[in-house]
């Protein structure tokens, strides 16, 4: 046990995800040895994020006003909505520069083990967005794991009867990967989704 | 890239030791979803530690006043000083409840690759503490690695001529470990340091 303030900091750091007691101690001593200005900047960044960041009323992405940058951008198409689990998925897709529509962030995936059901996700807000008929396609970009697939299946059953095209991101071999290292499920999906390329 | 405040926080978190860009993102989103009170507690712990914690004038350990708790404790013996690299080593040794003397924290170890020489460590302060002759033994508890051993060798050459007993913590097999998994250097040390137990 350290003296008061050091132990308090170690305890607080240890509550962060992925930070164990050893890392918390290492970070605390790093900060002790750092310039006060650096530590103050971190403390201010923490307070700023809580003071300024909220969630977009339309899509659920992180935002610094009522609507996020993407929902507020008039150059983006209103006909396609890409549904993702978390704001970090929006960032990942934006990096590809492939998609110019809007997003909808669910805030997670259906997960019976962790007691997350459809009512815990922003699904009713998605239905409201689809109600006026402006959206012609919904791309389900939930994670390619059990929870993400279950969520995509649930959503496709809900949305398809509305006459909206529902699509799912392709599964297959990662680009730049080695076929022999692909797991069997991924390789199976790559076969299933094979495309005719010649003749 | 996220909007301003979120990205600022990710950047600041990513500067911490052992926190990569992915962890920084995960921690940032965890904090976004946390109660403001929790985030405020972390920010305050950061500022508190810089405002209140200093280094003990005598031994170099972390302290909340000019002297640390151990140096200020009249029940501890003044005849033995245990020399360690970092404040966290003091905590580790205190946990054993084996040692009732004082400490001296060097603030690191001699490391030519990282340009840390004897003058960068609190060695002259240690010499000053030994000058009045009250100390009869110095226990060198620097890490059992190349830098720690080099530092211990340097210190023993410096201190031994003063007529003070210089000792080094025992190296050997870790208790509860498996002999077959011990590395050869540790096993070699365990042989070297073997003790007669019977007859």
SS3 category, A38: helix
**Is the pLDDT reported for residue B199 higher than 60?**
no
Choose the weakest-confidence range: A95-99, B147-151, B161-165.
Answer: A95-99
pLDDT tens per residue across span B4-44: 888 899 999 999 998 998 899 889 989 988 889 999 999 99
Q: What is residue A187's predicted lDDT score, i.e. its pLDDT?
A: 80
pLDDT tens per residue across span B112-146: 998 999 999 999 999 999 998 899 999 999 988 89
Q: Which residues from A are below 8 Å from B29, CB to CB?
A: 86-88
Closest Cα of chain A to B73: distance in Å? 14
**Is the pLDDT reported for residue A199 higher than 60?**
no
Fold designation for B4-52: Helicase, Ruva Protein; domain 3 (1.10.8)
Choose the weakest-confidence range: A43-52, A129-138, B5-14, B175-184.
Answer: B175-184
Q: What is the pTM of this model?
A: 0.69
Nearest CA in chain B to A95: B1
CB B62, CB B87: distance < 8 Å: yes
Q: What is residue A5's predicted lDDT score, i.e. its pLDDT?
A: 87
Stretch A83-102: mean pLDDT: 89
Nearest CA in chain B to A91: B1
B4-52 with B55-168: one CATH topology? no
CB B176, CB B118: distance < 8 Å: no
Contact B5/A46, CB-based, under 8 Å?
Answer: no
H or E segment at A167?
strand A165-168
- For chain B, the domains span 4-52, 55-168
**Is the pLDDT reported for residue B1 higher than 70?**
no
Closest Cα of chain A to B14: distance in Å? 10
Q: What is residue B128's predicted lDDT score, i.e. its pLDDT?
A: 95
CATH number 3.40.50.1980 is the correct assignment for the domain at B55-168: no
* Nearest Cβ partner for B30 among A16, A28, A31: A16
């Amino acid at each position: 046990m350290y003296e008061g303030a050091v132990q308090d900091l170690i305890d607080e750091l240890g509550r962060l995800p992925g930070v164990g007691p050893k890392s918390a101690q290492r970070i605390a001593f790093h900060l002790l040895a750092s310039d006060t200005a650096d530590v103050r900047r971190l403390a201010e960044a923490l307070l700023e994020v809580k003071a300024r960041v909220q969630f977009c009323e339309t899509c659920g992405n992180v935002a610094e006003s009522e609507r996020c940058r993407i929902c507020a951008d008039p150059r983006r198409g209103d006909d396609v909505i890409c549904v993702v689990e978390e704001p970090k998925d929006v960032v990942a897709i934006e990096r590809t520069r492939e998609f110019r529509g809007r997003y909808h962030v669910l805030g997670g995936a259906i997960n019976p083990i962790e007691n997350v059901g459809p009512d815990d996700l922003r699904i009713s807000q998605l239905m409201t967005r689809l109600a006026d008929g402006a959206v012609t396609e919904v791309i389900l970009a939930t994670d390619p794991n059990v929870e993400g697939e279950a969520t995509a299946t649930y959503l496709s059953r809900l949305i398809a009867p509305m006459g909206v095209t529902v699509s799912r991101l392709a599964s297959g071999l990662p680009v730049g990967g080695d076929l022999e290292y692909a797991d069997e499920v991924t390789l199976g999906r790559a076969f299933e989704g094979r495309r005719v390329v010649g003749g």
